[in-house]
Structure 1
């Protein structure tokens, strides 16, 4: 089964039409909801721990449970995205997100909340790679930086909007009402997406012109050639550290601001918005800057690889410095930088991964990348909870916990400078590819050469 049918005729020289940007707007909101669903638990951390009588490690387990099936689901849906329309995969995910909020609204205790977070994580695991894959169907490689930044920036925008709004709901109505609001928003998105969602045709149009014959729909390469390339491996380390940081921002930073720095819940909710604001600005700005640089003829290595390396390196340095600064204003500034600009790596990294991957395998590669990177999200909340609980005091525990992603991001930045070379690795990977007949590929008895190589 092919993944989509053409909606409109397209060619590589044709600019994406209004339909493409309508789809992009919906994908942006999709990612906004995605991150709001994640953030609500961290924003309600203290009232949840008080009402349910949880220790720091028990809450850390609850936060980590979101990632129990996140990674497996991300990879599985990536292979489905190679064959089925992204529209309905995205619709199904968003509907499950909404439904998982209902047990919490109904007064669920720890066990039901744990299960609901596990199911939510399984449904959210494929969100970013499948959304990226859906967007890239509408845009050729040289025009993908802005769409990818919009999708990645949807998370930051979700934090900007969700943190203060959900905090107000939690304070004025109770933490369970925050989950109810996310149910309503999720259902509304599904209703609109059922009408607006479409599949793009940029890959088909490019292949038809012969402009990039190695990217034709029937062209496949062994997956290990992609995943063992210097470009992919270096990008993975930086993204892993950045995702560890994002998991801490969602699960622990609000509590850190209250317990270690002495801020009120309202002040902590306002302060935690700052990283989301900078994350959004940095991600959107990166997309515009990268696309402008490439339009000016700057290589992808510089406009994507070096730029992404700089972002995670600076975030890592700020993360390591923040616990040791005594001036509260400077500390908040460093925390804002540490928990924000590293996220630039998510948009750049997935755009680079799409650049070195044939379209027929893109959904799987983007999803495998997310599945591996987000293992950081599985470990970070629980490991942090254990460190804080065993430390002499919370401030010391958080300082130790923050050193982990800080070091990872420093190393990831240095590796990006040295090894992220998309143009070179795209050529090397393509040299090991084969054209695979689509009908033979779908047949269970197909034995044509090259099928196994494509994975």
Structure 2
């Protein structure tokens, strides 16, 4: 019996605990700040899509590849790098990753050919690969269990807000100074945040928050287990697999719409690239607000019924499907944008419940690896294929026709969440029993 499975953390503090230290919120704020930089560096590209298309005479498929290569690198590398972070130290890993994606974004700014830009974007993805999983693992390890869906939704919404800033600020800078300066601005911001994080957040200062429970040890330090044991912990139940799959597939919608909304507004509404980027950023902002609200709503509704988190995820996916399926088939105009906007509010609403379910169904000592697996699913099933697949379809049937097919993804996610819901109660009972036995070892 592995002792690692018995290691409690602050994330396992009883639901009645209300004492959350101020430094925990400082760590949360700085970690989310770096997440903002992460997505600003990733999504600034979407704001300059029309400018790059014109400057280098690129097809929609090649434009989409510049966006998808980041998510692909994240998907491929998130798991191995997160496992290394669990062993090497999460805080040190965060600093290294943020420095890499910031320097790679600077590389985008000085690229002179499509090939150079593609390589630079790949290194952006390598730097960002494990940040989401390691960052959320650090956050969840220093807060009580009762806040898991809220914190997960808020943390993941940071990606949406970072995308908003990346598209809005990047679009404004590009309109006045050119697309190279848009990438340069994102790089400078990232480097400044890395310096602040390096001096304020340390393993030594975070450790007491993680070890606030009796007999706890700081997570991510000195944890060793075999690959077989790790796989068993990550895929121990049918419901956790459904959480991975459902979360990944449902994120195909926001990823596709975020990437192509500025181009959609430019082509079908006649907006200038700068204005299209600003308006497109509003849809990303709506998505981020929806992630926070839906995550908090899932926590509130599931206080007395643990299966309700799955039910809320299912409802969010169905609402998204209905509204976006209608919206993208309406004629261009304000009403179409309203339908799309409301649909985007729910498009990533299952992120909070999915993260909470993964945290509940996996041992605390491997939460970075568990969230790496969730990130892997999010990227390979949703974020990575979204932009390039939509671009390929757009080259053959037009961008509007491609976007009309995107809303069907949440229907597949709904099926995964439904299967998970049916098995969740039994799986949680088994996981809790294993934790209790491990605690006695």
How does the TM-score come out when normalised to structure 2? 0.85
Unaligned runs of 5+ in 1: 210-216, 438-449, 451-455
Which residue number in structure 1 is paired with residue 312 of structure 2? 307
Alignment CA distance shift 1:105-1:161 (3 Å): closer
Of 78, 85, 90, the match for 2:89: 85
SS of equivalent residue, structure 1 residue 129: helix
Does the aligned pair in 1 maintain the 2:44–2:163 contact within 8 Å?
no
CA deviation after TM superposition for structure 1 residue 191, in Å:
0.9
CA deviation after TM superposition for structure 1 residue 228, in Å:
6.3
CA deviation after TM superposition for structure 1 residue 25, in Å:
0.5
CA deviation after TM superposition for structure 1 residue 248, in Å:
1.4
CA deviation after TM superposition for structure 1 residue 67, in Å:
2.9
Unaligned runs of 5+ in 2: 217-222
Matched, 1:110 2:114: yes
Of 188, 194, 215, the match for 1:190: 194
Which residue number in structure 1 is paired with residue 220 of structure 2? none
Alignment CA distance shift 1:160-1:114 (3 Å): closer
Mapped partners of 1:328, 1:173: distance in 2: 31
Mapped partners of 2:61, 2:111: distance in 1: 22
Does the aligned pair in 1 maintain the 2:247–2:350 contact within 8 Å?
yes
What does 1:412-423 align with in structure 2 at a 5 Å threshold?
A: 412-420=413-421, 422-423=424-425
CA deviation after TM superposition for structure 1 residue 117, in Å:
0.4
Does the aligned pair in 2 maintain the 1:387–1:398 contact within 8 Å?
no
Which residue number in structure 2 is paired with residue 444 of structure 1? none
The Cα offsets for residues 210-230 of structure 1, whole Å up to 9 and x where unpaired, read as xxxxxxx89996635643634
The alignment yields a C-alpha RMSD, in angstroms, of: 3.0
CA deviation after TM superposition for structure 1 residue 233, in Å:
3.2
What does 1:402-413 align with in structure 2 at a 5 Å threshold?
A: 402-403=404-405, 405-413=406-414
Which residue number in structure 2 is paired with residue 387 of structure 1? 393
CA deviation after TM superposition for structure 1 residue 48, in Å:
0.7
Matched, 1:355 2:363: no
Does the aligned pair in 2 maintain the 1:238–1:309 contact within 8 Å?
no
CA deviation after TM superposition for structure 1 residue 44, in Å:
0.3
Which residue number in structure 2 is paired with residue 248 of structure 1? 256
The farther-off stretch of 50-59 and 222-231 is: 222-231
Of 133, 141, 145, the match for 2:145: 141
Of 315, 324, 349, the match for 1:319: 324
Mapped partners of 1:222, 1:187: distance in 2: 34
Matched, 1:258 2:260: no
Mapped partners of 2:315, 2:42: distance in 1: 27
What does 1:133-282 align with in structure 2 at a 5 Å threshold?
A: 133-198=137-202, 199-201=206-208, 204-206=211-213, 208=215, 223-224=231-232, 226-227=234-235, 229-282=237-290
Mapped partners of 1:351, 1:177: distance in 2: 39
Mapped partners of 1:166, 1:324: distance in 2: 30
Which residue number in structure 2 is paired with residue 442 of structure 1? none
CA deviation after TM superposition for structure 1 residue 203, in Å:
5.4
Equivalent pairs, count: 418
SS of equivalent residue, structure 1 residue 208: coil
The Cα offsets for residues 119-159 of structure 1, whole Å up to 9 and x where unpaired, read as 11111121211111010110132222332222111112223
CA deviation after TM superposition for structure 1 residue 414, in Å:
4.4
Which residue number in structure 1 is paired with residue 104 of structure 2? 100
Does the aligned pair in 2 maintain the 1:218–1:436 contact within 8 Å?
no
CA deviation after TM superposition for structure 1 residue 310, in Å:
1.5
CA deviation after TM superposition for structure 1 residue 320, in Å:
2.0
Matched, 1:20 2:32: no
The Cα offsets for residues 318-371 of structure 1, whole Å up to 9 and x where unpaired, read as 232222112522211222233342222222211210111101221111101211
Does the aligned pair in 2 maintain the 1:56–1:389 contact within 8 Å?
yes
Which residue number in structure 1 is paired with residue 383 of structure 2? 377
Which residue number in structure 1 is paired with residue 428 of structure 2? 426
Which structure features the higher share of helix residues? 2
Alignment CA distance shift 1:200-1:288 (3 Å): farther
Mapped partners of 1:377, 1:412: distance in 2: 14
Alignment CA distance shift 1:68-1:288 (3 Å): closer
